């Protein structure tokens, strides 16, 4: 048994947090889909350090899964999740049902804009619309707060920030660094889908990003050349199916004509059997 309080209803969480804010206490929110790992733990650590009350939401959001994706098989371990939350300083776990999150007539659609149209938005057309509905609903329930997202899902972080700005939501969005395994693989709940052989190959994504970042640091200014270097690295070292290897302006998610002094963001996505993995890295000229 842990000391984390679990709240399952919208009204229960609202009343609890309204009482906390009435005494001047600051609220931090870490939205998750559960199956928590060290990456999530780092977000909880950051929220607990910055705020007086830390809420971790655990909700496997059906709206961000396409019909051919892994909703039914998405990994779940509620007991382990509670342990992670307790060990890393969470005060409350919000574990709502689908009916609590999406009451009739339902949460309205959220316009996610151009940032959501490329890369993950192109590969998974319904994904960001589903993310935006769940996250906007959480913000409505939790109220004024700081919220913490990992940079591993860099496009998601950008979409959430844009949504907060577009809809004037009273939430501060904090991006936190990607947490990696010892061999560079970015932590993700979907790593659980990897076979042993695929797990040995998957760190190539990080290595490809490092090759791209080294090229930029070495003076390469042509984004197509950097993208090609990353794609070649993935193709030469894995049986996985590359989705994209790209160089983008981190503010617009468009390919810059040249890599400028301010730098770029490198993106890569690859499918390893059942697991589709994404990763990214900043790249700045020396």
Over the stretch 233-271, which tens digit does the pLDDT of each residue have? Answer: 999 999 999 999 999 999 999 999 999 999 999 999 999
pTM (2 decimals)? 0.96
Q: How far is CA 214 from CA 59, 226, 283, in A?
A: 38, 9, 8
Q: Are strands 145-150 and 5-7 parallel, antiparallel or unpaired?
A: unpaired
Asked if residue 206 lies in contact with residue 228, where contact means CB atoms within 8 angstroms, the answer is: no
Of all residues in the chain, the percent with pLDDT exceeding 90 is 93
Q: What are phi and psi of 116, to 5 degrees?
A: -95, 5
Confidence bin at 64 (pLDDT 50/70/90):
very high
Residue 1 above 60 pLDDT?
no
In the prediction, which pLDDT does 185 show?
98
Beta bridge partners of 281: 266
DSSP secondary structure string, the chain? --SPEEE-SHHHHHHHHHHHHHTT--EEEEEE-S---HHHHHHHHHHHHH-SEEEEEE---GGGS-TTS-TTT----HHHHHHHHHHTT--EEE---HHHHS-TT-PPP----GGGSSTHHHHSTTHHHHHHHHHHHHHHHH-SEEEEEEGGGHHHHHHHHHHHHHTT-SEEEEEEPPPB-TTSPBP-GGGGG--HHHHHHTTHHHHHHHHHHHHHHTT---HHHHHHHHHHHHHHH-SSEEEEEEEE-TTT-S--SS--TT-EEEEEEEEETTEEEEEEEEE---
* Domains detected in the chain: 5-176 (3.40.50.620), 189-281 (3.30.1300.10)
Question: Please, what is the average pLDDT of the chain?
Answer: 96
Active-site amino acid positions: 40
């Amino acid at each position: 048994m842990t000391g984390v309080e679990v709240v399952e209803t919208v009204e229960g969480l609202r009343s609890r947090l309204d009482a906390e804010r009435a005494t001047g206490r600051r609220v931090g929110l870490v939205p998750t889909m559960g199956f928590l790992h060290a990456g999530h733990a780092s977000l909880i650590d950051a929220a607990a350090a910055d705020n007086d009350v830390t809420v971790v939401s655990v909700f496997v959001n059906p709206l961000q899964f396409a019909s051919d994706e892994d909703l039914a098989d998405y990994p779940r371990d509620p007991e382990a999740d509670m342990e992670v939350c307790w060990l890393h300083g969470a005060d409350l776990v919000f574990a709502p049902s689908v009916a609590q999150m999406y009451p009739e007539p339902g949460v309205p659609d959220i316009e996610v804009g151009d940032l959501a149209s490329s890369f993950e938005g192109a590969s998974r057309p319904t994904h960001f619309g589903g993310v935006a509905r769940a996250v906007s609903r959480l913000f409505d329930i939790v109220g004024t707060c700081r919220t913490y997202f990992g940079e591993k899902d860099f496009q998601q972080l950008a979409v959430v920030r844009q949504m907060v700005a577009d809809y004037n939501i009273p939430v501060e969005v904090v991006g936190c660094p990607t947490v990696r395994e010892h061999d560079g693989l970015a932590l993700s709940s979907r790593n659980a889908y990897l076979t042993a052989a695929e797990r040995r190959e998957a760190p190539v994504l990080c290595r490809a990003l490092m090759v791209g970042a080294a090229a930029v640091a070495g003076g390469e200014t042509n984004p197509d050349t950097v993208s090609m270097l990353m794609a070649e690295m993935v193709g030469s070292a894995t049986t996985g199916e590359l989705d994209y290897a790209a160089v983008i302006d981190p503010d617009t998610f468009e390919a810059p004509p040249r890599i400028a002094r301010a730098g770029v963001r490198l993106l890569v996505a690859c499918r390893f059997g059942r697991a589709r993995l994404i990763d990214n890295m900043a790249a700045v000229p020396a």
